[in-house]
Structure 1
C-alpha cells in the first residue's frame, strides 16, 4: 500500500482521540476557545 494510507490511519486515530476529548471535556466552559481541534470536531461530527 502507499504511505498515504498510513498517514490517513494516523489522522483517523487523532480524530477519534479528539472526538473522545470533545465528548469528555466538551461540557467545560471555554474548552472550545483554547482547544485548537474543538471547532473541527464540532463541525465534523
Structure 2
C-alpha cells in the first residue's frame, strides 16, 4: 500500500509542476480581467 501511495504522490507532484509551468506562461482567457500572479510563479516562466 505504501508503494502505491508513494507512486501516486510522485505523479500528482509532477502533474502540479506541469500545470504550474503552463499557467505561468499563458495569459487569461477572460477579456476583462487577468488576475495578478504571485511573485514565486515568475520563477517558472520561460
TM range (shorter): 0.5 to 0.7
Aligned residues: 36
Taking structure 2 as the reference length, what is the TM-score of the superposition? 0.54
Q: Return the structure number with greater relative CO, CA threshold 8 A, min gap 6.
A: 2
Runs ≥4 in structure 1, deviation > 2 angstroms?
30-33
Give the equivalent residue in structure 1 for 2:20: 18
Choose 1 or 2 for highest CA Rg: 2
1:31 and 2:33 matched: no
Structure 2 unpaired stretches of 5+: 28-33
| Larger helix fraction of residues | 1
Taking structure 1 as the reference length, what is the TM-score of the superposition? 0.55
Structure 1 unpaired stretches of 5+: none
